[in-house]
Amino acid sequence: MKAIKLLGLLLAFGVMLANANAQTSKYAALAIDRSNGFYYGWSYDYASLAEAEGKALAECVKRGGSCAVVLSWSGTGCGVYRTINGEVGTAYGWGVAPTKAEADTIAAREGLKRSSGKPLVNNVWACNSANSGDFKTLKDEDQRTTQDTAAKNEAPPAEEENTVEGESLDGNLIVIGTPAGKIRIQNAANKNVVREFAGHSSAITVVSFSGDGTMIASGDSSGVVKLWSTGSGSLLRTIKSHNSPITMAMIGADNVSLMTATGEELTDVKGWDLKTGDQVIGNQ
């Protein structure tokens, strides 16, 4: 009889413990307007998924968007969302992971697929509080837009098909990297060449401006990344970052950090300290 009573108590305790754990689980969500991703809404630390998604939608609609939930998660984790501004509405990327740093890496990688080399300087995030339960991604929608599909299916002009471009955040300058390793800076309005110089010994595969437009990052097919002064064209630093063609080279908003990656899906991501040239994120 005592054994049965003890078993009953243990079962009851197990149910209570399970209920207690369930109560600590928190939910978060992100809603955006895919036609202009600058309209977005966050929620975090909600007791149910329905509440979290409802709050994110409401916040997005309040900003003026036609919104849908694209990301939700439960437990101790963070979501990061990167955009440029309302003028470049389809250049956005989001990420979710157990830590904010991991989520930001994913968001930056996804956003650069649509930003034409512009840095995604608008960086917002939401994190459930600590001890919110085990992290679990509940929804992570496909980030591709209709513009992505159209661009992929549209053949570029023959004379431009092997060049890469990036635009300054203020829209005044364009930087072009060529298969011959040259870098050309042009006035965006009239296409006049401002400066042109030899950049790499291999074909340039990616170029981008820093947020303030004072620096340019360029990467080539051999895995080398170089930093340049926009004003003078002088070389600031060379980093042998990867052993395969560079597909992302983005200077941080602080102008002292750099993120690089290879592969079509930007899978091998690394971070660098531009003051020292040392790697600080990613596989060595």
Same structural domain, 139 and 163: no
Is the CB of residue 184 less than 8 Å from the CB of residue 207?
A: no
β-bridge pairing 224-229 and 235-240: antiparallel
Find the CATH number of the domain harbouring 194: 2.130.10.10
* In a domain? residue 133: yes
Domain boundary among 98, 119, 143: 143
Same structural domain, 82 and 35: yes
pLDDT value for 4: 46
Same structural domain, 83 and 40: yes
Report d(CA 274, CA 31) in Å as an integer.
Answer: 34
pLDDT value for 142: 86
Same structural domain, 111 and 187: no
Same structural domain, 102 and 77: yes
Q: What is the pLDDT of residues 107-163, one digit of tens each?
A: 888 888 878 777 888 889 999 998 888 999 999 988 876 555 444 444 444 445 579
Between 9-23, 26-40, 77-91, 195-209, the lowest mean confidence (pLDDT) is in 9-23
Structure tokens at 266: 């930007």
* In a domain? residue 2: no
Domain boundary among 77, 111, 143: 143
Same structural domain, 163 and 268: yes
Between 274 and 7, whose confidence is greater? 274
Q: What is the pLDDT of residues 194-230, one digit of tens each?
A: 888 888 999 999 999 999 999 999 999 999 999 999 9
Same structural domain, 50 and 124: yes
Number of domain units in the chain:
2
* In a domain? residue 151: no
Domain boundary among 114, 143, 172: 143
* In a domain? residue 222: yes
Say which residue the tokens 């360029």 belong to. Answer: 218
Structure tokens at 145: 């837009």
Residue 50 Cα to chain centre, angstroms:
26
Which range of residues forms the domain containing residue 50? 25-143
